[in-house]
Amino acid sequence: MNREEISAILQQFIKTEILAGGKQIEENASLRQAGVDSFSIIEIILFIENRFNVLIPDEKLLPENFETLQQLSAVVHNLMQANP
């Protein structure tokens, strides 16, 4: 699965399960400014681990990895490549 596919899946999840009222989020937009809070980050992490069958190690749980969909999907893609 490539990074663009991962990003699209994450975008759909965040749009339907996290954001209010059908709010849209672009790949390079700030997740925090879109309304993603710390509780939502936990939901996103659980979704990622279940959907993509990867564990996000503690050293990857950095604020900069959760700033945008682009950064988040890159982390997931790298984890998937490291653990095929």
Taking a C-beta distance cutoff of 8 angstroms, is the pair 27, 49 a contact?
Answer: no
d(C-alpha 9, C-alpha 48), whole Å: 10
Each residue of 54-69: pLDDT tens digit?
A: 999 999 999 999 999 9
pLDDT in tens, 23-79: 888 889 999 999 899 999 999 999 999 999 999 999 999 999 999 999 999 999 999
How many angstroms separate the CA atoms of 14 and 69, rounded? 9
CB 42 within 8 A of CB 56: no
Q: Which domain holds residue 51?
A: 3-82
pLDDT for res 21? 78
Return the CATH number at 35: 1.10.1200.10
Q: How far apart are CA 5 and CA 69, in angstroms?
A: 12
Q: Are 52 and 6 spatial neighbours (Cβ–Cβ below 8 Å)?
A: yes
Structurally, how many domains does the chain consist of? 1
